[in-house]
């Protein structure tokens, strides 16, 4: 079974994914795949350097993530360009990882931790998945987490949130919603219940 786990930045997706992994899911992390496809020597990194200039490449030849982030989170056109370069490669590599996990364990629950399953127009790839789970947290909660836990300033936190689809677009495509506004324990209890229902659907123990 292939499950998409989506949610806005700092909603708690990775926390939910980590619990699902503990329970037995195979997790594929889109953010991690997105790092792999821009490693030195990849065609995607070469295109990024071409389009965004040498300022986004660090001295050791790796992507300067802070420099590129400073450009794309405040500029829709630049972000679309970056997405057009990276997303096909992320999709292709992710599908390889799903296939490998399912070949190794046909009954596996493969969870794709992916922030950008839909865009602001509600367009996306939800139909590639057996289930879509959205992790939902209010904007103010997410801003607070980005400021307190990740050291962003408030304006930067809001820019990153605004660079993603609105909450309503994610909720519209979700089969199941995890409310991550409460305590960590409350979130994890919902994940345990979700896991039981996913195992029930799959039919395998
Ligand atoms: C812009 C980059 C260099 C910033 O790197 P940085 O290390 O600061 O952030 P990181 O990659 O860990 O992402 C953190 C969060 O930012 C959000 N985010 C990342 N890229 C985007 C994007 N293109 N649009 C909207 N939100 C994004 C996601 O919620 C993600 O979980 C990097 O995010 C990137 O290369 N993004 C393009 C690839 C992409 O879309 N990744 C998201 C998963 S497919
Ligand atoms: N109720 C809660 N549910 C989930 N996370 C919580 C909760 N309360 C606090 N947190 C904290 O909020 C943070 C959420 O970060 P996490 O990396 O899980 O989010 P994310 O949605 O994966 O973000 P990103 O899109 O940036 O990868 C974690 O540090 C987590 O411990």
- Report the C-alpha gap between 191 and 188 in whole angstroms: 5
- Residue 86 Cβ < 6 Å to ligand 1: yes
- Report the C-alpha gap between 173 and 31 in whole angstroms: 21
- Residue 1 Cβ < 6 Å to ligand 1: no
- Residue 163 Cβ < 6 Å to ligand 1: yes
pLDDT (mean) for 168-183: 96
Sheet with 131-136: list strands edge to edge.
26-29, 110-113, 2-6, 131-136, 176-179
- Residue 42 Cβ < 6 Å to ligand 1: no
Is 117 within 8 Å of 125 (Cβ atoms)?
yes
pLDDT at 85 over 80: yes
Please, what is the average pLDDT of the chain?
A: 94
Model pLDDT, residue 200: 83
pLDDT at 203 over 70: no
13 is in an annotated binding site: yes
> What's the CATH superfamily of 1-25+109-197?
P-loop containing nucleotide triphosphate hydrolases (3.40.50.300)
185 confidence band (pLDDT: 50, 70, 90): very high
* pTM for this prediction: 0.95
Model pLDDT, residue 204: 47
From start to end of 33-154, where are the E strands? 110-113, 131-136
Model pLDDT, residue 124: 80
Where are the chain's structural domains? 1-25+109-197, 33-94
For 74, 123, 126, the CA distances from 2, given in Å and listed in that order, are 33, 19, 11
Which atom of ligand 2 lies nearest, measured to the CA of 9? 25
pLDDT in tens, 98-147: 999 999 999 999 999 999 998 766 778 888 999 999 999 999 999 999 99
Model pLDDT, residue 41: 97
């Amino acid at each position: 079974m292939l499950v998409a786990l989506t949610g806005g930045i700092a909603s708690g997706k990775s926390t939910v994914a980590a619990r699902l992994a503990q329970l037995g899911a195979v997790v594929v992390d889109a953010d991690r795949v997105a790092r792999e496809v821009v490693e030195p020597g990849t065609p995607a990194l070469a295109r990024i350097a071409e389009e965004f200039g040498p300022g986004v490449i660090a001295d050791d030849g790796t992507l300067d993530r802070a420099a590129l982030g400073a450009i794309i989170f405040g500029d829709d056109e630049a972000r679309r360009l970056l997405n057009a370069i990276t997303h096909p490669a992320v999709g292709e590599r992710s599908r390889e990882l799903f296939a490998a996990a399912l070949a190794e364990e046909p009954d596996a629950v493969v969870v794709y931790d992916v922030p950008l399953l839909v865009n602001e127009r509600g367009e996306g790839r939800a139909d590639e998945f057996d289930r879509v789970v959205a992790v939902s947290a209010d904007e103010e909660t997410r801003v607070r987490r980005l400021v307190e836990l990740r050291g962003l300033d408030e304006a930067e936190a809001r820019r990153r949130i605004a660079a993603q689809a609105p909450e309503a677009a994610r909720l519209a495509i979700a089969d199941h919603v995890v409310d991550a506004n409460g305590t960590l324990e409350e979130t994890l209890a919902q994940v345990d219940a979700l896991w039981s229902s996913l195992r029930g659907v799959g039919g395998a123990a």
